[in-house]
Amino acid sequence: MVKDLGMMLEIILLLTESVLVSSYALNSTVQCERLNEKKLKVRAGESLYLPCPNRYCFIQTENSSYFWFRNLSRTKQMEQIGTEESERVHFHQSVLYILWLNLNDTGRYITHRYEGDFCGEYETVVVVYEEFSMDLVYKTPSEQVVSGIYCPVCDEEEQQGSFVWYKNFSLIPNQESAPVLRIRNSSKQSEGIYTCVCTWEHHGIKHNSSGSRRIVIKEQTINVSPKFSLPINNSVVFTDVGSEVILNCSVYFGQSVCSRCSIHWEKNRSRLHGEDGYEQKYRYSVLFFSRTIDGTLQLLLNINKVSESDLRSEFRCKAQDSYEVIFVSVTLKSRASVLSVIVACICTSLVLLLLAGGLKWFALDLVLFSRQIFVKLYRKEDGKLYDAYVIYQRNNLDEATSKTVCDFINGSLLTVLESYYGFKLFIHGRDDLPGEDCMSLIETEIQLSRRLIIVLTPGARTDKSSDSPEAYDLQVGLHQALVQGETGVILIQLGQMQDYTHLPLGLQHLLCKNSPLLWRDGESSPNSRFWKRVRYQMPVVSSFQRSSRRGSLKASLQCQGLLV
d(CA 158, CA 162): 13
Would you state the pLDDT for residue 561?
41
Could you give the residue range(s) of every CATH 3.40.50.10140 domain in the chain? 380-560
Would you state the pLDDT for residue 272?
76
CB atoms within 10 A of CB 36: 16
d(CA 181, CA 150): 6
DSSP-based three-state secondary structure for 488: strand
Taken in order 525, 526, 531, 532, is the CA torsion positive or negative?
negative
The burial class, CB within 10 Å (0-12 / 13-18 / 19+), for 464 is exposed
CATH 2.60.40.10 holds for 134-215: yes
Angle at alpha carbon of residue 139, lines to 256 and 109, rounded to 5°? 155
d(CA 516, CA 506): 14
d(CA 356, CA 330): 38
Query: Residues 514, 515, 520, 526: what is their CA dihedral angle, to the nearest 10 degrees?
Result: -30
Cβ atoms of 373 and 407 closer than 8 Å: no
Angle at alpha carbon of residue 386, lines to 385 and 392, rounded to 5°? 145
Give the DSSP letter of residue 52: -
Low-confidence ranges of the chain (pLDDT < 50): 1-3, 5-7, 9-28, 278, 280-292, 466, 543-564
Q: In one letter, which amino acid is 379?
A: R
Could you give the residue range(s) of every CATH 2.60.40.10 domain in the chain? 2-129, 134-215, 227-334
d(CA 71, CA 105): 9
CATH number assigned to the domain covering 380-560? 3.40.50.10140
The helix (H) or strand (E) run that includes residue 137 is strand 137-139
Nearest of 394, 476, 384 to residue 425 by alpha carbon: 384
What's phi and psi for 417, nearest 5 deg?
A: -75, -45
Give the DSSP letter of residue 481: I
Would you state the pLDDT for residue 69?
92
Of the options 3.20.20.70, 2.60.40.10, 3.30.70.2190, 3.40.1360.10, the CATH number for the domain spanning 2-129:
2.60.40.10
Nearest of 527, 528, 511 to residue 519 by alpha carbon: 528
Q: Strands, DSSP E only, in 376-437?
A: 388-391, 425-426
d(CA 304, CA 391): 83
Angle at alpha carbon of residue 216, lines to 48 and 132, rounded to 5°? 35
What's phi and psi for 163, nearest 5 deg?
A: -125, 140
CB atoms within 10 A of CB 405: 18
Would you state the pLDDT for residue 250?
83
Give the DSSP letter of residue 432: S
Nearest of 319, 545, 486, 504 to residue 393 by alpha carbon: 504
Q: What's the longest Cα–Cα distance across the chain?
A: 148
d(CA 156, CA 207): 15
Q: Residue 26 contacts by C-beta under 8 Å, 6 or more apart in sequence?
A: none
d(CA 228, CA 441): 82
CATH 2.60.40.10 holds for 227-334: yes
Cβ atoms of 488 and 400 closer than 8 Å: no
CB atoms within 10 A of CB 119: 18
What's phi and psi for 554, nearest 5 deg?
A: -60, -45
